Amino acid sequence: MFVVSRKLPCFRPTFIRTVTTDILRIGSVTRSVTPPIDNNQSLIPIFYYEKNLFPPSFIRHLEWLMKKDKLGQDALFVGPPGPTRRQLILAYLELTRKPYQYLQLTRDTTDSDIKQRREIQNKTALFINQAAVNAAIHGHTLVLDGLEKTERNVLPILNNLLENREMNLDNGQFLVSTQRFDELLKSYTKEQLDQLNFIRVHEDFRVIALTLPPLPDYKGHSLDPPLRSRFQLRDIGNVPLTFTEHTNLLRTLHPNVDGLFIENLLSLASLINSTDLETLKLVHFPFDRLNLSVRLAELIPNMNLADCLHRIYPYEILYKNSKESKQTIQHMFNKLAIQQQVEKSSKKILKIIRQETKAIVDYEMNGKKYKITVPAHDTSLPITSPTFISTSYHDQLLSDLMLSHAIGDICLVGPKGCGKSLIIDHFASLLNYPIEYFVLYKDLSARELLQQRITNENGDTVWQNTPLVQAAIHGRLLVLDGIHRLNNDTLVSLQRLIQDRELFLPDGTRLLRHDRYDNLENPSKNLRRIHPSFRIIALAEPPLGNNIGSSESSSIKSSSEQNW
């Protein structure tokens, strides 16, 4: 029931039910958990904590977080790129049934994204509360993801809210801390304080921030010292799970995969991340994507490790022009006695049978036949591709795309004019997918990637969904054409959509993964369901120079399964 760590028992989270409330225990810490208010139910994370799959090492972080929560302190989680830090926090909020507001920080983030945004409705200027203000007023937890991405002059506007729980708002209102507001109620009435535009900050309001370690491996802005001092820091480590824990987890998820395959995969990933990434010009290995490689080995048992690995860590392309980096990777393969070269195997799609939102594909590889299930669109109208003359090379590429499609999103890389779009058109026609093309450019902001602010015929400001949001809602195939042009900070704004299938939009709407949405009893009006058929294919040109920069590569590879 427990493991020993740092001489303290680390109990799994348990609930003790009483007449009026539930008592949650994590490790040595307990706290009462009250049922959520109906209005807040949609803001509580769901399906982030799975009891039988949650590693013991992660429970220590939840215990620490509960201690800080009970003390009324704000927390800062530090760790490598990827979804682990965020998913730990959301697992804690799910256990404690606490609603949250999420703010993805980028270089385009301004104070209006944090406090209040001015909108025009019926020819009148209105101030709409944003994530920080909503969380403070209603007692939600504010999750700030990516502190290192913002300019140093943006986040200090939160200093007073973090330290004193006070903030001046653009509409003339003033947030007042719980203790001070209650003291004022002894001398003034609630109506008088309302006339003074005083708003009480809820006693349950907390802030949890996420950032990367201040190492040369990860690029970003240094944190403002006064802001940094407002948080209690927790470093989850460069490798959040122990080797044994990660091995057991992957074996539990994929019991049919050879244990030696899993151990070799983990050994290579650990060896890459244990080196000096900056000195050797290596890219951080995304541990959270290892599950995709193992899933692929479960679908096609005779695929070699190098082929499975190359789909989530395309070292042949990343280090094509860097002899030193390439030799380092070769040395690691040799040290672990693992075959490095991707096998030139014969792959073929024999038949596709569509069944509503999925398709059964008869697949042949090196003479052996398999059946794999892939997402497909449920449209009744057949989608036809333009005139397409297939060659043996195209057949191999389409077969590779189908394998990648079975386990996640895809990044297809090739030089300009090589026919990437034509291949994707034909691939979509095989699965009856309507396509949403989104052509990207260098100056596209993180906000414009999701929604565009326009003025209607009445002069009111409204938010218009981009093809990205339309594809997610209607289950289409989203093609991000030219993803290499985007600034890496802008690209990070897509990480929740790709990793968690969730997204907070600028207009307050929230996109939620289909199974999480279906589990809600009364979804709120600003909640939209992400269609189960939704998939992303990013088109990019090969990296220039020695190799992709560490920060940019990590944000891409930790987000999508790759085809190169």
Q: Where are the domains of the chain?
A: 2-235, 255-335, 379-557
Whether 2-235 shares its CATH topology with 379-557 is answered yes
Q: Which two tokens stand for residue 130?
A: 């944003």
How much is the pLDDT for 6? 45
How much is the pLDDT for 185? 95
Give the containing element (helix H, strand E) for 121: strand 116-121
Q: Other CB atoms closer than 10 Å to residue 546's CB: what's the count?
A: 15
How much is the pLDDT for 563? 45
Q: Which fold does the domain 2-235 belong to in CATH?
A: Rossmann fold (3.40.50)
d(CA 438, CA 441): 10
Under 8 Å between Cβ of 382 and 430: no
Phi-psi region of 286 (alpha: psi -120 to 50; beta: other; left: phi over 0): beta
Nearest to 536 by CA among 464, 436, 442, 390: 436
Tell me the CATH class for 379-557.
alpha beta
How much is the pLDDT for 548? 52
Query: Which segments of the chain have a pLDDT < 70?
Result: 1-11, 19, 38, 215-217, 341-343, 380-386, 545-564
Helices (H) then strands (E): counts for the chain: 23, 27
Under 8 Å between Cβ of 360 and 371: yes
Nearest to 473 by CA among 453, 450, 454, 452: 450
Paired strand residues for 75: 208, 232
